[in-house]
Amino acid sequence: MGLFRFIFSKTFLIQLVLAGIVLLILSFLTMQWLDYSTNQDQRIEVPDLAKMNLDNVENRLEELNLDFEILDSANFNPDYPRYSVIDQVPAPGKFVKEDRKIYLTLNPSGYRKIEVPNNLIRKTRRQVEPTLRSLGFEIGEISYKPDIAEDAVLELRHKGKLVNPGEKLMKTSRIDLVLGDGSGRYRETNEDSIDNGGDTENEVNEF
């Protein structure tokens, strides 16, 4: 009976109310501290850094109290300046907290070099052209010289120089093909003339 009376006594009820008030105050102060320590109400909009060089990126992010980290370079993109930002995470327009890192991907200085396959000589033009294009090369002039095999690739050339199998050239380089004409005649044609349905032909001594 003594405990029952104490629970419903005025003294106990006052203590219960005071304990509740103290608990509410402590909860409020705790939430305020968490908000302050974690910057819950601080939102910084991520700027668009595309095509900026690193000096400009550093200055822009420093103004916003943001940091950055550079990821590996991507494949060269001719639409962006060299060493400029071509991708970023988080994306522009996203909201982040102070000191958040922005991860950047930079455009390299140029196309990477690609090794010319060593098994193209004596293959047919129909086999070689798709192989070179799939590697990122462009097909340049097509010329012919006497050989028993018609349309067989006899030489690969770049800017007039012979390309040896295994040699590395910049991606998008134009490679000229020298083919056998199978008839003992020599003719020279380029892609434009092929597209127009014409070619030029020069007589040489028959074998």
Domain boundaries, the chain: 44-106, 113-202
Q: For 102-131, write each residue's pLDDT tens digit.
A: 999 999 888 888 999 989 999 999 999 999
- So what's the pLDDT on residue 140? 95
Q: For 29-60, write each residue's pLDDT tens digit.
A: 887 776 666 555 568 999 999 999 999 999 99
Fold of 113-202: Trypsin Inhibitor V; Chain A (3.30.10)
By the 8 A CB rule, do 168 and 203 touch?
A: no
Confidence class of residue 206 from pLDDT cuts 50, 70 and 90?
Answer: very low
Do 44-106 and 113-202 show the same overall fold? yes
Confidence class of residue 88 from pLDDT cuts 50, 70 and 90?
Answer: very high
Q: Exposure pattern of 51-68 as b/e (b: 16+ CB <10 Å)?
A: ebeeeebeebbeeeebeb
DSSP string across 41-91:
T--EEPP--TT--HHHHHHHHHHTT-EEEE----S--TTS-TT-EEEEESP
Q: For 140-168, write each residue's pLDDT tens digit.
A: 999 999 999 999 999 999 999 999 989 99
- So what's the pLDDT on residue 145? 92
SS3 content of the chain, % helix, strand, coil (to 5): 30, 30, 45
Question: What's the DSSP call for residue 175?
Answer: E
CA distance 57 to 59: 6
Fold of 44-106: Trypsin Inhibitor V; Chain A (3.30.10)
Tokens for 35, please give them: 């908000």
Instruction: Using the predicted structure, report yes or no on whether residue 91 has a pLDDT greater than 80.
Output: yes
Report field, pTM of the whole predicted structure over 0.85? no
